Structure 1
């Protein structure tokens, strides 16, 4: 990997592999977050030259105070890339998931025995994923990282995409076969390409915080539903937990405004007493919740991945995992096209990626939306219906296994890079 702080001039030597006349790189990835880094890593042995452009310094990008559920399929993708051994020691495994509805006694418990696996999933803080991916990319000879750098303009022509970049006071035009937008929910690349989005903002916001319980979390993840919204407890290393507390906007703002002692009282009421006394670690944060799906994931010489393509409700921890599946699918599509001598930026090639991922993502977006709406109310017929569903899930094994596989990403088309049986 080349790590650049200045833009290469047009007279510089070409990247490691031979380029067709007129191309600086095969593809430019805009966004050096988890999605962009995973895509660059997945293309390590593809024979394609990659420019990864990130607006923030590496150290600043890693300071994001977030944590994620990492589903089984995502772990398999990281394993297939070759970075999983660097990630695994820094994250926590969960082997049980407990799903409950208010004060209803019919809790559904999922365990590794349901799918004959060692683990159900993992929980990782942002830097626990970002740092290993940043280190891995530095070992990729075909990847050049330009950081910090700003994308000023993108233009799409029949035979090439042209990206205007700025670092400091200097600018440079970069010609590539393909641009990949991995620049988040407010993607400037998507907006500049005129790609529309559909969706809505929810009536809810999420409060996130780290806590340390008195007793062990026992590698158990919880999803506790209340009429105001879902409440997730995710286990982390050091017997810490990440909470994701969804509530109507005004209620969430009021909770955020409480002092730590008052907040802990309210948190314990929602959290339960199964892990004893709670200690609040660090600051609390709030963010609004929205559902978004791009009208299309591809256009001429452009592909969208991750949050640039879609957003969903945080219930079930699906967001990051959808993005990881996106980049694994895109990497497979363009690598296979390159091997067959096809132009990786051709719209017919890119539509294979869109066909693969758009419907699968829409299914998960719909699933999370229905889950939130069905459980976030007190309308008696719906309450009775959902509790009947929980009972069915408890006593009908095939339904329970299907629901679990849907939650952890083991349904749908599996990328070749993830078709392995062992994680550890």
Structure 2
């Protein structure tokens, strides 16, 4: 089999280019196969999409040489406030408060617009001699074998490599062709995503309000702007999504409250159905999965991208170390090492987000009293609270080198 690179990566969103850069930092070559048209640098206008980057993810971007230019566009997370409530009534008196000053490492993370992060990743892969980016093309077939894996593209051309990595989302065709089944279910909820401008400063405080239909996250962006991830029952969300801007704001305002003054929309609005999706295995013959191709979780903890970047950092480290030892990076024992490293951590976060969504997305008075008392109790236990802050910052567990800010 003719080899064109060490690793073929299907998916040109965020995790795919990040993996290519991480592999290149350790001397491995890759081809990123991207079904989307080739984007060029950061879009001139904000489109409403933004991400929560944990401290560990920020360290990874720094280790890959990206953070220096991104830092000026990012908003530090100084505090996180979590509370229960109902629309129009404000937050319950018991709440949980995460303060950046309770850990030595600094801000728990940053919020960053999609256009800046995506643009930085694409610019970086364009500048690497070890990465080829093929856009507007799809992988339509894959054939693993003892010496590597061949991938057929939509135009009929074939590429060969030691390993194929699926970074192609929850409906991963790479996983399906590899025979990897998925577990999961729908939540009968949808997320409404937008950004707002507001009169008063947010001071870098992120808010998570748990309401009966689902959580509302208010996430600070640079300036007097915040990103909104608003969960509603699916039927109701469809109605709200179809409203005009003023009617949409009229629905949002009683949920948002007036603590930041009046609000107005900034950028586009999005919506997508919510569900849980977990691949039964993160690896198969000559195939590995990362990001949403391996797992899709509820957005209530804002950990989706961070979880994907943990996959990327772990997989890159496993592959680079195997390469340095002269091993076949697509060998079963190499991929088994990646599976062991990431499977348990992922399963625990999937279970936690699923359980929290079920616990808080209801208006049962007994459950509401219990969860409010629980939030208040945790807030009064400094050691437990600091542990949760470190979890939110991505500092807990067996971290790959990139997440520690170190090169592979």
User: What band does the TM-score fall into relative to the shorter chain?
Assistant: over 0.9
What SS is found at the alignment partner of 1:252?
helix
What SS is found at the alignment partner of 2:39?
helix
Aligned to 1:395: 380
Q: Distance in 2 between matches of 1:61 and 1:374?
A: 41
Q: Distance in 2 between matches of 1:248 and 1:136?
A: 40
Aligned to 1:359: 344
Aligned to 1:84: 67
What SS is found at the alignment partner of 2:357?
helix
Deviation per CA, 1:21-56, whole angstroms, max 9, x where unpaired?
842211111111110110011112322221111111
Q: 1:47 aligns with which of 17, 20, 27?
A: 27
Change (3 A) 1:254 1:24: closer
Aligned residues: 398
Q: Distance in 2 between matches of 1:203 and 1:184?
A: 20
Aligned to 1:68: 51
Aligned to 1:271: 256
What SS is found at the alignment partner of 1:144?
strand
Residues 79, 418 of structure 1: 8 Å contact kept: no
Q: 1:33 aligns with which of 10, 13, 19?
A: 13
CA RMSD between the two structures: 1.8
Aligned to 2:203: 218
Deviation per CA, 1:84-132, whole angstroms, max 9, x where unpaired?
1122222221211111111411222211111123212111121111111
Which runs of 5 or more structure 2 residues have no equivalent in the other structure?
86-90
Aligned to 1:138: 126
What SS is found at the alignment partner of 2:164?
strand
Task: Give the Å deviation of 1:65.
Answer: 5.1
Per mean C-alpha deviation after superposition, the further-off stretch among 380-389 and 203-212 is: 380-389
Aligned to 1:57: 37
Q: Distance in 2 between matches of 1:60 and 1:308?
A: 25
Q: Distance in 1 between matches of 2:388 and 2:271?
A: 29
Q: 1:370 aligns with which of 340, 355, 368?
A: 355
Q: TM-score, normalised by structure 1?
A: 0.90
Residues 73, 418 of structure 1: 8 Å contact kept: yes
Residues 277, 296 of structure 2: 8 Å contact kept: yes
Residues 41, 123 of structure 2: 8 Å contact kept: no
Aligned to 1:304: 289
What SS is found at the alignment partner of 1:59?
coil
Change (3 A) 1:158 1:229: same
Task: Give the Å deviation of 1:62.
Answer: 7.1
Change (3 A) 1:65 1:215: closer
Aligned to 1:7: none
Residues 94, 373 of structure 2: 8 Å contact kept: no
Which runs of 5 or more structure 1 residues have no equivalent in the other structure?
1-20
Task: Give the Å deviation of 1:370.
Answer: 1.1
Change (3 A) 1:60 1:144: closer
Residues 291, 311 of structure 1: 8 Å contact kept: yes
Q: Distance in 2 between matches of 1:364 and 1:56?
A: 30
What SS is found at the alignment partner of 1:107?
strand
Aligned to 2:88: none
Residues 178, 285 of structure 2: 8 Å contact kept: no
